[in-house]
Structure 1
């Protein structure tokens, strides 16, 4: 059999055991490489299936009683600038997407999964808290309120919520999970949606407010961001309640006062 024919047969699923034994007896190096690639692919698929089963354990426990479970997560509590973005995602019970904590995925992997989640989920919604809301309410409460808006905006209302380390201020049964984005496929999906949306927002803000490196630091207090803050001042998306921003503002006000007197 030609190597091209072996490659074609090994690409099929499932592959007959008799054929695999035949390829294993083939002495050609090319045939053995094709077989090794096939086995590696099968091992990876088996590992992914086990991983999905493990990270859907909370959903599978709850689905018989609560068929519409929304995962809730946030992105952006730590940065000095930009909004907190929260997402609520209701996945189908037959979901097989390899979702995980967005922080464990590369940007390419998040961008690949994002449209799949949007198109395959039962419902997806966002809640946003801007810098003004963060400064007014405090970061924790502003995040809670944004999560509540995400849940309330779902086109299909959930029976139950799985939330990453917080409680959502809505009258829906819920469970708070520590490291939920790595332990629940629903929360993991929400973390990916929130992360992709917030990253895109910060890239847009980089065009509006150049000089702070928002497209790369996403609003976190990196060296380039702090340098931009010192040189260019405070933007409307900076969080005045966060110490580095507040301290820089006070320093600049003092400079203005001293130069005004001189």
Structure 2
């Protein structure tokens, strides 16, 4: 299987930022996006789609990417996810990540098939984290950033296994919800969480 490279970046030309997000599917926590402009002469070895890397390797590459590249990190909070919907909140997080770069890119490569409307020339790439080194680097930065945040939140809300499941709807997380209910970090607009809240509302009305 081919590894991501700089072919797409070279096609676009100029200063290219790769953008990716992590956290669209979880029941809890923010959605985190990253934008990365790689230095073509100093690219850390082993960058690929964050899902294909071990936790240890992601952590190492995270540090190396921050040392060698221009990086911006953006986020959308749970309240924004519930207010806007997860897709629009993801776009907000992506636009914030690009703004945080400091050095404005001339072109953007973004993972997925929808343009977040950066106001800059943008190319959407399905499975971009498997094709573009810049997008793959952004996926690593976003993943490590979000996992660390969920680890911190797991200490405040210890009954849901967020240190292991990062807020996804695993059996452990669902069990925690059934026993301890919904926290301020849960996305109330997501069907499983809304169902629990509606059930509690009905019980309270009885």
TM over 0.5: yes
Q: Which residue of structure 2 aligns with residue 238 of structure 1?
A: 186
Tell me how far apart the structure 2 counterparts of residues 168 and 140 of structure 1 sit (CA, whole Å): 9
Q: Is the 8 A contact 1:145 1:169 kept in 2?
A: no
Per-residue deviation, 1:155: 1.1
Q: Secondary structure at the match of 2:145?
A: helix
Q: Does 1:133 align with 2:83?
A: no
Q: Which residue of structure 1 aligns with residue 104 of structure 2?
A: 157
Q: Does 1:249 align with 2:197?
A: yes
Deviation sequence 1:190-244 (CA, Å, 0-9, x none):
0000000000000001001110111011000111101111111111110011000
Compute the TM-score of the two structures, normalised by the length of structure 2. Answer: 0.95
More displaced 10-residue stretch of structure 1: 97-106 or 200-209: 97-106
Per-residue deviation, 1:149: 0.9
Q: Is the 8 A contact 1:80 1:220 kept in 2?
A: yes
Q: Is the 8 A contact 1:72 1:86 kept in 2?
A: yes
The number of aligned residues is: 204
Per-residue deviation, 1:95: 3.5
Q: Does 1:60 align with 2:60?
A: no
Tell me how far apart the structure 1 counterparts of residues 60 and 39 of structure 2 sit (CA, whole Å): 19
Q: Is the 8 A contact 1:160 1:172 kept in 2?
A: yes
Q: Secondary structure at the match of 1:124?
A: strand
Which of the residues 146, 152, 171 maps onto 1:223?
171
Tell me how far apart the structure 2 counterparts of residues 101 and 202 of structure 1 sit (CA, whole Å): 20
Q: Does 1:89 align with 2:36?
A: yes
Q: Is the 8 A contact 2:5 2:132 kept in 1?
A: yes
Alpha-carbon RMSD:
1.4
Tell me how far apart the structure 2 counterparts of residues 243 and 96 of structure 1 sit (CA, whole Å): 41
Q: Is the 8 A contact 2:74 2:94 kept in 1?
A: yes
Deviation sequence 1:25-75 (CA, Å, 0-9, x none):
xxxxxxxxxxxxxxxxxxxxxx9xx84xx5221112233xx1x11000000
Per-residue deviation, 1:256: 2.5
Q: Does 1:195 align with 2:143?
A: yes
More displaced 10-residue stretch of structure 1: 174-183 or 161-170: 161-170
Tell me how far apart the structure 2 counterparts of residues 124 and 96 of structure 1 sit (CA, whole Å): 13
Q: Secondary structure at the match of 2:27?
A: coil
Compute the TM-score of the two structures, normalised by the length of structure 1. Answer: 0.75
Point out the structure with max Rg over C-alpha: 1
Q: Which residue of structure 2 aligns with residue 204 of structure 1?
A: 152
Q: Which residue of structure 2 aligns with residue 143 of structure 1?
A: 90
Q: Which residue of structure 1 aligns with residue 51 of structure 2?
A: 103
Return the structure number with greater relative CO, CA threshold 8 A, min gap 6: 2
Runs of 5+ consecutive residues of structure 1 not aligned to the other structure: 1-46
**Structure having the larger proportion of residues in helix:** 1
